[in-house]
Amino acid sequence: ITVNVDNTLAKVQPNMWGVFFEDINFGADGGIYAELIKNRSFEFAKPLMGWTVKRAKPNEGDLLVVNRKEVNTANPRYLQVNNNQEGLSITNEGFKGIGVKKGLRYDFSVMYRQSAAHVKLRLQLINAKNEVIAEGSLAPEKTGSEWHKQSVSFTATATEPKAKFSIAFEGKGKIDLDMISLFPGDTWKNRPQGLRADMVQLLADMKPGFIRFPGGCIVEGTDLANRYQWKKTIGPIENRQLLMNRWNVEFAHRPAPDYYQSFGLGFFEYFQLAEDIGSDALPILNCGMACQFNTGEVAAMDELDPYVQDALDLIEFANGDVTTKWGKMRADLGHPKPFNLKMMGVGNENWGPQYLERLAVFTKAIKAKYPDFKIINSSGTDPEGERFNLLNTSLRANNADFIDEHYYRPADWFLKNAGRYDNYPRNGSKVFVGEYAVHADKSLTGPDKSNWQSALASASLMTGLERNADVVQMASYAPLFAHVDAWQWAPDMIWVDNLESYGTPDYYVQKLFSTNKGTDVVPITLENKNIIGQDGLYASSVIDKNTKELIIKIANNADKSQDIAFNLNGKTRLKAKGTVEELANANLGQINTFQNPKAVSPQKSTVNVKDKKIKIALKPYSFTVIKVPF
């Protein structure tokens, strides 16, 4: 194998390898958004879903869910407690139970309104054996007709993956309650009511070039009324109007009747998350079309203005200075500096003439105001079909900045398509592979697992994306997160339960690419040909002009070890020692688990460079990254 170290073929975009975030599989509510109380403001379709009520004897009117939708459309319901007997309590089951860690602080808060301060709240976290493992109390202090917020913290004495949270009412009297909230004290950057630190850390470790959000199909919604609207996701959390999650429907592989979006993780938090982990923000907005797999509802062309305005206002929200309406809003939310948004997607998986005509309106309006702003166009879900080809041709003819391709396919499709972009036009529209994942051989580990077969096939295809970095300028695996007790779609990159999280083999492949992205693609060939499946090998190579390194990536899909000699051609003087990170497993069905989270994870070693050659034995079924400084 020959690597030509001096010969730049293409530039690698600094944001080439990113992540795709969607609130699917309890990725946000019940996942990265660390709120532990399900249905905290009683807005689920069934107002007491997630709550059970205990009382000594039936007593009419002791608990009322009051609806004030005429005066508060964003947060219509609250709970009215008329505590006129002993033993009244409400208990929340959490999303799939509540994860509690011994020694950790828990932060409770509630909004309340009362005319006299008689009722106290006794707060308890209770484990599966019905033992109290954390306890606190809160005596709401303020009285009058206004709502107030009060907080109290307490510490857990034991660990429990599936606790419940109970509020017992003490003292006779009446009180209104809303936004009943409990957060762990170890959120990311210790932000109050923030994100789960372990999950964010897994992302931060990947150093992703961008974060695509908020989806996925939830952008589109089952119908337009249930589409994602970013303006409803910013500002005080009690004003963020809850929505049924689009994955709370029959179409989902595992319908979750209790799946709603509280938007505690809203657009401001997404931008903040992107900034925290050094990624570009890549929001995807609804283009006036609901999910074509569901209702397929479309906004009338003469009613598209609000949709387009949302896109224009989002750019102002992210980048405008404080003299602009939306720039001021961002500053008021605590971020006076712009977020430096450079791109957005218009539409998720939308297609057909309806899409093209709506997209044209968005593009004209956005480019008129922000000529350099990049717009990502959707190309649907069918990477080989006629629909894809027709749409792609039109998008290219219209000079789309980026075309978003999605593919969920078996491993052999990925291997066959590792050369997919070699013959794409080099000029004009660039490709964003916005969603992809190998759906691995069912006989190995079942259809729901990202195993070593799927990760190795992804890695093989990704060498083709990297080789074509002049055409494919961004890529993100999907979906990102899944909760073990609440997933609708699989495979997924990172699995979580209420306490822990781990990366699948695909996570480590993604991480190896994004932390070894380089700056320039250089040729790597076998007998003068790109390495696309000869002897089961797939390879790409980059140099990093910043860190001064040559980086070779090579996947061995053969069931045998292969001795490889890399000839390093060129004038660049390479150092005598390099490093190796290797993912390997003789069993393609190997998965990572909570018990063994690093079964497939990179092993480090070193390699010598002698006479401009590297000799290495590639393990059977392996993916290897070799780095040599110069």
Cβ distance to ligand AHR smaller for residue 264 or 380: 380
| Options 135-143, 212-220, 221-229, 298-306: segment touching ligand AHR (CB under 6 A) | 212-220
Residue 113 vs 406, nearer CB to ligand AHR: 406
Which amino acid appears at position 595 of this protein?
Answer: Q
CA 573 to chain centre: 41
Integer Cα distance of 506 and 601 in angstroms: 10
Nearest to 167 by CA among 233, 123, 126: 123
Q: How far is the CB of 459 from ligand AHR (least distance, A)?
A: 19
E strands, 50-172, in order = 51-54, 63-67, 77-83, 89-92, 98-100, 105-113, 120-126, 132-138, 148-155, 160-170
Q: Is the dihedral of CA 444, 447, 448, 453 positive or negative?
A: positive
Q: Give the tokens for residue 480.
A: 């990102």
Rounded CA-CA distance 460/103 in Å is 45
- Would you say 549 and 11 are in contact if contact means Cβ atoms under 8 Å apart? no
CB contact set of 416 (below 8 Å; sequence gap of 6+): none
Q: Smallest distance, Å, CB 245 to ligand AHR?
A: 11
Distance of closest approach, residue 378 Cβ to ligand AHR, in angstroms = 9
Please, which residues bridge with residue 76 across strands? Answer: none
Residue 24 or residue 537: which is nearer to ligand AHR going by CB? Answer: 24
Min separation Cβ 387 and ligand AHR, Å: 14
Distances (CA, A) of 303 to 288, 298, 345, 613: 9, 10, 20, 64
Q: Which is nearer to ligand AHR, 408 or 424 (CB)?
A: 408
Confirm or reject binding of residue 479 to ligand AHR (CB under 6 A). yes
Using CB positions, name the residue nearest to ligand AHR.
216
User: Candidates 90-98, 187-195, 215-223, 268-276 — which segment interacts with ligand AHR by CB under 6 A?
Assistant: 215-223
Buried b (16+ CB within 10 A) or exposed e, 397-416: eeebbbbbbbbbbbbebbbe
Interface with ligand AHR, residue 27, by CB under 6 A: no
For 431, the 3-state DSSP assignment is strand
Segment 434-473, which members bind ligand AHR (CB under 6 A)? 435
- Sole binder of ligand AHR in the list 388, 402, 421, 489 (CB under 6 A): 489
**DSSP for residue 139:** -
Binding residues with ligand AHR: total (CB under 6 A): 13
Cα–Cα distance for residue pair 179/110, rounded to 1 Å: 6
Nearer to ligand AHR, 478 or 521 (CB): 478
CB nearer to ligand AHR: pick between 362 and 407: 407
Pick from 215, 345, 491, 602 the residue near ligand AHR by CB under 6 A. 215
Single out the residue of 10, 16, 24, 252 in contact with ligand AHR (rule: CB under 6 A).
24
| 147 contact partners, CB below 8 Å, separation of at least 6 | 111, 112, 113, 176, 178
With CB under 6 A as the contact rule, the residue among 349, 401, 441, 466 that binds ligand AHR is 349
Phi and psi at 382, nearest 5°, equal: -125, 85
Q: Residue 246 CB, nearest distance to ligand AHR (Å)?
A: 8
Establish whether the linkage from the previous residue to 479 is cis, with ω within 30° of 0. yes
Q: Provide the minimum distance between the beta carbon of 295 and ligand AHR in the complex, in angstroms, as a whole number.
A: 16
> Does 217 sit near ligand AHR (CB under 6 A)?
yes
**Cβ-based nearer residue to ligand AHR, 480 or 539:** 480
Sign, Cα dihedral of 302, 306, 309, 310: negative
Contacts of 483 by beta carbon, 8 Å cutoff, 6+ apart: 25, 26, 27, 30, 31, 95, 96, 495, 496, 497
| Closer residue to ligand AHR (CB): 350 or 530 | 350
CA distances for 263 relative to 107, 126, 230, 237, 365, angstroms: 19, 27, 9, 8, 28
Per rule CB under 6 A, is residue 163 in the interface with ligand AHR? no
The residues annotated as belonging to the active site are 349
Q: Taking the complex as a whole, how short is the minimal distance between the CB of residue 482 and ligand AHR, in angstroms?
A: 10
Peptide bond into 47 cis (omega under 30): no
Structure tokens at 532: 């696309």
Instruction: State in angstroms the smallest separation of the CB of 581 from ligand AHR.
Output: 28
| Residue 290 or 532 with smaller CB distance to ligand AHR | 290
Q: Near ligand AHR by CB under 6 A, which window of 38-46, 159-167, 211-219, 571-579?
A: 211-219
Taking the least distance from each CB to ligand AHR, the nearer of 29 and 160 is 29
Nearer to ligand AHR, 22 or 280 (CB): 22
Here's the x/- map for ligand AHR, 405-424, by CB under 6 A: it reads as -x------------------
Stretch that binds ligand AHR, among 89-97, 102-110, 210-218, 360-368 (CB under 6 A): 210-218
Residue from 12, 13, 15, 22 in contact with ligand AHR (CB under 6 A): 22
CB of 229 to ligand AHR, least distance (A): 17
CA distance 244 to 101: 30
349: Cβ contacts below 8 Å, ≥ 6 apart? 217, 220, 291, 292, 293, 378, 380, 381, 406
Of 50, 208, 216, 518, which one interacts with ligand AHR (CB under 6 A)? Answer: 216
Smaller CB distance to ligand AHR: residue 214 or 536? 214
Query: Does 39 engage in binding with ligand AHR (CB under 6 A)?
Result: no
What are the helix and strand counts (H, E) for the chain?
11, 36
Distant-in-sequence, close-in-space partners of 420: CB < 8 Å, separation ≥ 6 = 461, 464
- In the complex, what is the shortest distance from the CB of residue 151 to ligand AHR, in angstroms, rounded to a whole number? 35
Among 45-53, 101-109, 129-137, 213-221, which window interacts with ligand AHR (CB under 6 A)? 213-221
What is the bridge-based pairing of β-strands 402-409 and 374-378? parallel
Minimum distance, C-beta of residue 435 to ligand AHR, in the bound complex (Å):
5
Alpha-carbon radius of gyration of the chain = 26
Q: How far is the CB of 489 from ligand AHR (least distance, A)?
A: 5
- Total Cβ atoms within 10 A of residue 544: 18
Q: Which of 245, 292, 348, 557 binds ligand AHR (CB under 6 A)?
A: 348
Where do contacts with ligand AHR occur on this chain (CB under 6 A)?
22, 24, 215-217, 348-349, 381, 406, 435, 478-479, 489
